[in-house]
Amino acid sequence: MTDFSGTVALVTGAASGIGAAITARLHAAGASVLLADLDADRLAAGPSGERLRTAVTDVTRAGDVEAACATAVEAFGGLDLVFNVAGAARLGTVLDGGEDDWRSTVDLVLGGTYLGIRYGGRAIRETGRGGAIVNISSLNAHVPLYGGSSYAAAKAGVEMLTKNAALELARHGIRVNAVLPGLVRTPLTTGWFDGGPIERDFTARILAGRPAEPDELAGPAVFLAGPDASYVNGTSLVVDGGWEITNYPDISAAVGA
């Protein structure tokens, strides 16, 4: 495991799922971590101790995000890494879904990532050591989701925002990359894991034959932020157990293999 001693990280959405797994990995590797999340109760019930601080943060509010960055700098003496993980979707079809649902999902997923890059990037620039930003997009940036147009479009936006930010932040020694998870077993998706047809159809499409555990996303995300990815910038890492490549019909019988 890479040693992150002396590194300061801010993780949004840190109270649950993928964000909590990223936080655990970073902390175990020696980093100081500011856990930023909207859910005050979960933050309070989560990990605490040396090299950990929490900040109740709504990533759709610029003032909250700026304050979380300031808290990290004040508590740990600077900021090196930002993980923009917070996200959720309010589903609804293009024709009949709520316009407020559309706006709030885009504001959270795309707007929240923008604010994390903006204020986190400024704090990293101010710290002056260079650093890295990792944005959690989704396989839905490439694959549409029925009723999820706002989420899928916003996640596709996160992928391009990642490239654009990488272009602009490189002069400050900051790399920006994205992770595109497929299906991960977290509170966001628990409703789908009831042994019913949705779970069966999902797992049938995944070469791994199962959803990911949160730590299987944390590994790639932390890799992108660390020194082993020093030459990786402005790109996306699809972490989906081979889901995206299963769209073509299975012609193995015709090939005879």
Closer residue to ligand NAD, CB minimum distance, 17 or 78:
17
Pairing between β-strand 32-37 and β-strand 8-12 as defined by DSSP bridges:
parallel
Three-state DSSP state, 101: helix
CA dist., res. 157 & res. 168, Å (int)? 16
Should residue 56 be labelled a site residue for ligand NAD when binding is judged by CB under 6 A?
no
CA dist., res. 171 & res. 177, Å (int)? 15
Closest CA to 47 of 74, 67, 79, 22: 22
Closer residue to ligand NAD, CB minimum distance, 17 or 121:
17
Should residue 58 be labelled a site residue for ligand NAD when binding is judged by CB under 6 A?
yes
Q: What residue has token string 């977290």?
A: 186
| Residues from 140 through 169 that contact ligand NAD (CB under 6 A) | none
Out of 27, 32, 35, 37, point to the residue binding ligand NAD (CB under 6 A): 37
Closest CA to 12 of 51, 44, 60, 48: 60
Should residue 24 be labelled a site residue for ligand NAD when binding is judged by CB under 6 A?
no
Closer residue to ligand NAD, CB minimum distance, 57 or 233:
57
DSSP lists the bridge partners of residue 84 as 135
String marking each residue 183-202 x if it binds ligand NAD according to CB under 6 A: xx-xxxx-------------
Q: How far is the CB of 107 from ligand NAD (least distance, A)?
A: 9
Other C-beta atoms closer than 10 Å to the C-beta of 53 total 17
What tokens does 32 get?
A: 């100081």
| Residues from 102 through 141 that contact ligand NAD (CB under 6 A) | 108, 112, 136, 138
| Residues from 67 through 106 that contact ligand NAD (CB under 6 A) | 85-88
119 catalytic per annotation: no
Closer residue to ligand NAD, CB minimum distance, 138 or 177:
138
Tell me how many residues contact ligand NAD (CB under 6 A).
30
CA dist., res. 94 & res. 153, Å (int)? 12
The gap between the terminal CA atoms of the chain, to the nearest Å, is 39
State the catalytic residues: 151
Site residues (vs ligand NAD, CB under 6 A)? 12-13, 15-19, 37-39, 42, 57-60, 85-88, 108, 112, 136, 138, 181, 183-184, 186-189
